[in-house]
Structure 1
Amino acid sequence: MPTECIPYSETGYFTPIICDYLAEKPALQPFYHRFPKLENFEAQLQEKQQSHLTDASQRAILSKAMLAQYKNVAASEKTIQNIKKLANEDTFTITTGHQLNLFTGPLYFLYKIISTINLAKELQEKHPNYHFVPIYWMASEDHDFDEICYFNYKGKKLRWNREASGAVGELSTEGLSEVLNVFTKELGNSNNAKYLASLFEDGYIKHNNLTDATRYIANELFKQYGLVIVDGNDKALKQLYIPFIENELFQQTAHKKVLETAKQLTKASADYKIQVNPREINLFYINDGIRERILENEGVFSVNNTSVRWNSEQIKTEVHTHPERFSPNALLRPLYQEIILPNLCYIGGGGELAYWFELKSYFEAVNVTFPMLLLRNSAVIKTAKQSEKMEKLNISNRDLFLKKDDFVAAKVKELSNIDIDFTPQKEHLKQQFKDLYTLAEQTDKSFLGAVAAQETKQLKGLQHLEKRLLKAQKRVLKDKVSRSTELQESLFPNNSLQERRENFSERYLEYGEHLIPTLVKHLQPLSGEFLVLEL
């Protein structure tokens, strides 16, 4: 099972801020706590253990709440033991989070969770006197239905057409049977297809809401690894969040601190883009199928697009009576997570880590330990047949990461019997003009401008000829080049990473029950490299 690891910075698919983070560039160091190296976890563990947020009473609430969430779930013994261990002071978590995408959404959903499972396992081996629990945090309170109402399968977009409002996790699964019927026809009749059809039928038809359906599917796929799936939309857990809800309503610390940090980030480098802009109040109100922003104007609090109003004392009463109705937005969700979990490290994609970088000073201001941040594993999976084609076409794994135009140009130059690289001619021309500049200096300096203009004209002429020759050779070599580009397109669909375009079902059809164990075997969360894996 051949593999190759490629540094993220050499793939061309990761932003400057992430490449600089992985390189531990000094400009970014003020925006995170400890870099995710195995030797740094001991200090993170000690700091988290001393936090008042991980005392015995809070741990007991967490463990009890999770047992309640798993009441009707066919969990593995390993998962149940992990939930019970959350009550112990020697237990810590490694966490990832993801939207409630239909039918698991993009392939990297698996990579996130496997990264989390594998890091927990690695830490367990390094620190046997502690326990480490992998956590998948469901974004059940998200309200952006448009982001999760579809998924891609073999280049087709399958969509759940319905009206939606409020938190997506509370959405009824009614109507998903129609999507499932279409999907199962696409899957075919193989044994692996039948398993997938059964998995999704049990998930979406036998559960009443999207949260329960997603938990069922994720549990079925990963329960043997002891994964614990958390739904933050829980009254018992929100009780722990009350002091921070009040801080957000009355002090608005997040707005002040994140704005300051965002300015510092852009000053650190023009290449660093702000991922999330803070609002004055970064909370939503959830009730009766709505999830709307909370606003404040001259001491009066309101819920956007509703008639709900409170004064300061009334909203305090509402917070203490119904904390479950107060929902953090994308910016505040990380704080909520770190308050209720004894968490050491958050594992996310590049976009997620970029907005975590905006949060460190806010965490410090509210006295919450900032977690270590780890970029999730990325991979491209190729079949043995695709590897064989690559060998015949003389395509390396690194070639695949080139943008399409660069890839085509490289293949044409490689296959052509004609040397299409005019660099020697350009250098020779420059040398000739260097002599002309010397001659003009000695005779009449007024000719320098004319010499420079002629040099520019002739260099452009050579570049134009080079492009025309390359274009002509593309036509001559069309068959060989098209076979190469078809192969690249099959592994990088729509010039994008495979993991962002493919659904896990496409791979499961081919590899079945061996898919996830093989990925667990090969994905190394602390490697800091992109994996090319032949299966």
Structure 2
Amino acid sequence: MEVVTEPLQAGSALANDYIHHYEKVVPLYGEDYHQDITWIDRVQWLDNTEDRRVNRHALVDILKQYNEKHNSHAAVYTSLQLLEKPGTLVVTGGQQSGLFTGSLLVVYKAITIIQAAREATKRLNRPVVPVFWIAGEDHDWDEVNHTYIMTDEMQQPSKLALHKYTNSRSSVSYTPVSTEEWERSIRILSESLPDSDVKGSILTKIQRCIINTDNLSNAFANLLGDLFGEYGLVLLDSADPSLRKLEAPIFQAMIERNDELGRAYRSAADHIVSLGYNLQADVSDDGANLFYIHNGNRLLLMKQDGKFMDRKGLVTFTEEQLLDMLQVHPERFSNNVLTRPIMQDSLFPVLASVLGQGEIAYWAITRQAFEILNLKMPIILPRMSFTLLDGTQLKYMDKYGITFQDVQYRLAERREQWLSDQDTLNIDETFAEARSAFEKLYEPLINDLGKLEKGLLTLGQNNKGKIIDQISFLEHKSKEALEQKHAAALLQWDRIGTTLFPMGKPQERVYNIYQYLNHYGLSLIKDLMDTTVDYLEEHRVILI
């Protein structure tokens, strides 16, 4: 594989400055992750604060049970054995469950976590374990129930979606998916993937991983384990009820110090806005930043007049009542986007957290909240970013003299210019001259006829309009003929766009990994791992 770095348009100004102009955002994050001393200081802080996190042995027992079900690999077992030992650190990152793992960025995040843990192990001369945090407690089904495949027939992204049979706003991990629905989704995937030497093997793997699962999170875990278990990647589902008893003391602290946390989030949000950045997460003045599970629905709690309640008034608790409920039913409690980072660092000795750009931006809201709970924001490591480019598309790009940046910013403009260059008849100019000549000859005639009879002037003007319309119609047909003549070339232009920036988005945010495994073979993950050994924050184009 050949690799070149190419800038990718930033999705967040704050994240872009964090990565490329850290001096601008120091007050929001703290120490610079580029500096070795930052890593050393983080290790020392973690060593000195072991008692601020949950018991390692209890946590590893839960992780062993979960990974034995979904990610049973010798390398994972080794990672868990290491994690159980004092001094072992963690590089973590997470993502919502996605159909057939979702978009490529999920795979790239897993790769970054693994590679960063390996690099940290060498740099610090101590074990660092990779952990993938599955955000199964999230309830936005429409965000996770689909993925995209580019089919040979359509030459554009085709959406594959998974249906649910309940209207409840339950966590994804608690939203049931029937065997019939899994079978339907696999059948559609099979129809979408072009025939290849490995298609049968891929479908067999996927069927084995998901056909007996009852929800999207478990299927996601099985597939992720199949792809990365051999690299020792430990999986965790944030909705795992076994975790809640361990997490209860952290939820208790979040409830007891809820007002302080709310003020910290609000203060940080105001600071971010004052620096000219947009907020990437909602910060409500009355938000409790916790969810409560009620009758299968995940309700966001607010804080009003000293009481915790949801906006519809379905549940209302005093602080004492909420704490009592936590002791009896810890499984009913759930983090929101701003408290999840705190929970993560209360469970694990997190050396670094791998985040996408949107996550980097909203984590800036949490720094003060970490400190309120006697914690310290971990090192934030930007997820590595890639675009996969095969030889055929590169050949087309060379043929038409277009660059990656052309495709990213001005493909339509370059395509139109190329087509114009093929127009030997100068269609626009020729028809403009024809219209002008016609009007020059016809306008005096109309005026003269109007002197003969007033009604002829109106008739002549109407007639002129019809003739101009016919000239324009012929011009349009001429351009269609030009496009038809060069249809094969224009299809190549369009394929470049749908390959690199489908729907106007970076490839990694749209397409599914199994599309590429089907095309390039089952060794693709290993090839990507071998190619990305060195961590780079710059976007890379990988020529396969």
TM range (shorter): 0.7 to 0.9
Q: What is the one-letter code of the residue matched to 2:283?
A: P
Distance 2:99 2:110 in 1: 16
Select which of 27, 43, 46 maps to 1:45.
43
Greater CA drift, 35-44 or 326-335 = 35-44
Residues 202-252 of structure 1: per-residue CA shift (max 9 Å, x gap): 222112232322211111110110000011223453334334423433432
Provide closer, same or farther for how the CA distance between residues 74 and 348 of structure 1 changes in structure 2, counting only shifts above 3 A.
closer
Provide closer, same or farther for how the CA distance between residues 87 and 415 of structure 1 changes in structure 2, counting only shifts above 3 A.
farther
Select which of 77, 87, 103 maps to 2:84.
87
Structure 2 stretches of 5 or more lacking a match?
151-156, 425-477
Greater CA drift, 38-47 or 329-338 = 38-47
Q: Report how far residue 396 of structure 1 moved.
A: 3.0
Greater CA drift, 145-154 or 21-30 = 21-30
* Structure 2 equivalent of residue 119 of structure 1: 116
Distance 1:54 1:247 in 2: 12
Provide closer, same or farther for how the CA distance between residues 483 and 198 of structure 1 changes in structure 2, counting only shifts above 3 A.
closer
Say yes or no: does 1:132 pair with 2:128. yes
Distance 2:230 2:297 in 1: 36
Distance 2:55 2:374 in 1: 16
- TM-score, length of structure 1 as denominator length: 0.82
Provide closer, same or farther for how the CA distance between residues 483 and 311 of structure 1 changes in structure 2, counting only shifts above 3 A.
closer
Distance 1:362 1:5 in 2: 36
Provide closer, same or farther for how the CA distance between residues 311 and 482 of structure 1 changes in structure 2, counting only shifts above 3 A.
closer
Distance 1:246 1:311 in 2: 13
Provide closer, same or farther for how the CA distance between residues 14 and 138 of structure 1 changes in structure 2, counting only shifts above 3 A.
same
Select which of 462, 485, 499 maps to 1:490.
499
Q: Report how far residue 366 of structure 1 moved.
A: 1.7
SS class of match (2:521): helix
Q: What is the one-letter code of the residue matched to 1:261?
A: A
1:37, 1:526 within 8 Å by CA — same for their partners in 2? no
Structure 1 stretches of 5 or more lacking a match?
418-471
* Structure 2 equivalent of residue 277 of structure 1: 282
Q: What is the one-letter code of the residue matched to 2:119?
A: E
2:71, 2:235 within 8 Å by CA — same for their partners in 1? no
2:115, 2:535 within 8 Å by CA — same for their partners in 1? no
Provide closer, same or farther for how the CA distance between residues 396 and 192 of structure 1 changes in structure 2, counting only shifts above 3 A.
same
Residues 305-343 of structure 1: per-residue CA shift (max 9 Å, x gap): 574443333221111222221100112111111110111
Say yes or no: does 1:61 pair with 2:58. yes
Say yes or no: does 1:27 pair with 2:29. no
1:377, 1:525 within 8 Å by CA — same for their partners in 2? no
* Structure 1 equivalent of residue 516 of structure 2: 507
Distance 2:321 2:12 in 1: 45
2:70, 2:218 within 8 Å by CA — same for their partners in 1? no
Distance 2:528 2:273 in 1: 37
Select which of 173, 177, 189 maps to 1:173.
177
Q: Report how far residue 82 of structure 1 moved.
A: 0.8
2:129, 2:233 within 8 Å by CA — same for their partners in 1? yes
Provide closer, same or farther for how the CA distance between residues 289 and 101 of structure 1 changes in structure 2, counting only shifts above 3 A.
same
Q: Report how far residue 482 of structure 1 moved.
A: 6.6
SS class of match (1:282): strand
Provide closer, same or farther for how the CA distance between residues 525 and 96 of structure 1 changes in structure 2, counting only shifts above 3 A.
farther
Distance 1:243 1:405 in 2: 56
* Structure 2 equivalent of residue 202 of structure 1: 208
2:131, 2:236 within 8 Å by CA — same for their partners in 1? yes
1:257, 1:361 within 8 Å by CA — same for their partners in 2? yes
Say yes or no: does 1:70 pair with 2:67. yes
Residues 340-382 of structure 1: per-residue CA shift (max 9 Å, x gap): 0111111121111110111111112221120111211111111
Determine what percentage of the aligned residue pairs are the same residue.
25
Matches within 5 A, 1:228-239: 228-239=234-245
Distance 2:112 2:423 in 1: 43
1:61, 1:237 within 8 Å by CA — same for their partners in 2? no
2:396, 2:492 within 8 Å by CA — same for their partners in 1? no
1:173, 1:205 within 8 Å by CA — same for their partners in 2? no
Say yes or no: does 1:522 pair with 2:522. no
* Structure 1 equivalent of residue 365 of structure 2: 358
Distance 1:37 1:412 in 2: 46
Q: What is the one-letter code of the residue matched to 2:21?
A: E
* Structure 2 equivalent of residue 343 of structure 1: 350
SS class of match (1:72): helix
Say yes or no: does 1:104 pair with 2:111. no
Distance 2:39 2:530 in 1: 22
Point out the structure with max Rg over C-alpha: 2
Provide closer, same or farther for how the CA distance between residues 394 and 473 of structure 1 changes in structure 2, counting only shifts above 3 A.
farther
Q: Report how far residue 179 of structure 1 moved.
A: 1.8
Q: What is the one-letter code of the residue matched to 1:374?
A: L
Distance 1:296 1:357 in 2: 23
Q: What is the one-letter code of the residue matched to 2:144?
A: I
* Structure 2 equivalent of residue 12 of structure 1: 9
Provide closer, same or farther for how the CA distance between residues 406 and 474 of structure 1 changes in structure 2, counting only shifts above 3 A.
farther
* Structure 1 equivalent of residue 318 of structure 2: 311
1:403, 1:495 within 8 Å by CA — same for their partners in 2? no
SS class of match (2:204): helix
Provide closer, same or farther for how the CA distance between residues 393 and 118 of structure 1 changes in structure 2, counting only shifts above 3 A.
same
Greater CA drift, 504-513 or 316-325 = 316-325
1:118, 1:525 within 8 Å by CA — same for their partners in 2? yes
Distance 2:99 2:51 in 1: 34
Select which of 213, 221, 226 maps to 2:227.
221
Give the RMSD, CA atoms, in angstroms.
2.8
Greater CA drift, 383-392 or 258-267 = 383-392
Q: Report how far residue 180 of structure 1 moved.
A: 1.8
Provide closer, same or farther for how the CA distance between residues 356 and 406 of structure 1 changes in structure 2, counting only shifts above 3 A.
farther
Provide closer, same or farther for how the CA distance between residues 297 and 401 of structure 1 changes in structure 2, counting only shifts above 3 A.
closer
Q: Report how far residue 411 of structure 1 moved.
A: 5.8
State the number of aligned residues: 474
Provide closer, same or farther for how the CA distance between residues 296 and 259 of structure 1 changes in structure 2, counting only shifts above 3 A.
closer
1:75, 1:219 within 8 Å by CA — same for their partners in 2? yes
1:141, 1:167 within 8 Å by CA — same for their partners in 2? yes
Q: Report how far residue 12 of structure 1 moved.
A: 2.7
* Structure 2 equivalent of residue 153 of structure 1: 149
Distance 1:483 1:236 in 2: 52
* Structure 1 equivalent of residue 269 of structure 2: 262
SS class of match (2:31): coil
Distance 1:124 1:137 in 2: 20
- TM-score, length of structure 2 as denominator length: 0.80
Distance 2:268 2:423 in 1: 52
Provide closer, same or farther for how the CA distance between residues 58 and 255 of structure 1 changes in structure 2, counting only shifts above 3 A.
same
* Structure 2 equivalent of residue 245 of structure 1: 251
Provide closer, same or farther for how the CA distance between residues 232 and 501 of structure 1 changes in structure 2, counting only shifts above 3 A.
closer
Distance 2:60 2:138 in 1: 24
Provide closer, same or farther for how the CA distance between residues 113 and 283 of structure 1 changes in structure 2, counting only shifts above 3 A.
same
Residues 430-456 of structure 1: per-residue CA shift (max 9 Å, x gap): xxxxxxxxxxxxxxxxxxxxxxxxxxx
SS class of match (1:120): helix
